[in-house]
Every structure is written in structure tokens, then in C-alpha cells.
Amino acid sequence: MSLAEYLSRKLSKLFMKLIVHSIGDPFITFGEIALKKGTCCICGNRLREPSVKEGHFSTIQIYKKATWDGGPLATLTTQTGQSYGNFAVAVICAKCEKMFGSNIESLQSSVKFAVELDMRNKTLVYHDVKKLEDYPLIIEV
């Protein structure tokens, strides 16, 4: 191996360490973080159920504005192409998803927290929905 190749490899490794240190591991996904550390935004139970090997949860868009620095996890694009990019999202466990089914209004009113993904600390930050500004329901005809 030449000196140039050796230095190139060392610099690549150092650069990746700097990225991971500054923004967190870029290869870890939202799902992995949620299953490892997340709780349901309705009932508060852990998202990883012991009875389900891989766990199960859903991410839902809620009608609140995501005002934190990290930004939202959901963007709504309407039929006319207009984009609303600051909707907050919540994570819900399989039991709550099954309990509410397709009753969207009841589900929305039961959500207690919105989640923010903190990649630097590899965790979810929970925001009380009562403290967030409402986002109007957008209906196009």
C-alpha cells in the first residue's frame, strides 16, 4: 500500500468519525431508534413489545406544527402540488393502532405527544401536543 493510499484511508476514517460525532450515526434509522428507545405517544407503553420479536409501531401525522429546530418528520403534499412541510408526527404502538382503527378523529384527539428525531443523541424527543400550535386540516375538492 502506498503512502497516499494509507493517508487517504486514514483521512476517510477520521472524516466519518467527525460526521458521527457532529450529527450522530448517519446509518441508523428512525425505526431503529424508535424501537430501541421509543414509547407510544398515546398510551406511553414501549414500542418494542416483548411478544413481538421485531416490535411494531406506526408513525402518524398529527395536525400540529413542528416548530423545533430539527424540523418535522412529515411533509404533506396536496393534490394541487402545494407542500406543507412542518406537520408534527407521533408514533403509536400496535395496540393503540388496533384500538382506534380507522377512527382518525378519535386517534388525533388521543395523541399526547409529538416526536422529534434527535440524531446526535440517537433518541426521540417528546413534545406535549397541548403546547404546540394547531395546523388546520387541509381538504381539497
pLDDT along the chain (141 residues), means of 10: 83 73 65 85 82 68 80 56 72 87 85 86 89 74 52
> Cα–Cα distance between 77 and 68 in angstroms, integer?
21
For residue 85, being part of any structural domain is answered with: yes
The pTM is what?
0.68
When divided into structural domains, the chain yields a total of 1
pLDDT reported for residue 129: 93
Contact indicator for 86, 71 with CB cutoff of 8 Å: yes
Q: Closest Cα partner for 126 from 50, 51, 48, 68?
A: 68
For residue 21, being part of any structural domain is answered with: no
Contact indicator for 100, 106 with CB cutoff of 8 Å: yes
For residue 63, being part of any structural domain is answered with: yes
Provide the residue range defining the domain that includes 75: 27-131
pLDDT reported for residue 50: 56
Amino acid at 135: Y
> Cα–Cα distance between 102 and 105 in angstroms, integer?
9
For residue 69, being part of any structural domain is answered with: yes
For residue 7, being part of any structural domain is answered with: no
For residue 126, being part of any structural domain is answered with: yes
For residue 139, being part of any structural domain is answered with: no
Q: Closest Cα partner for 34 from 99, 95, 92?
A: 92
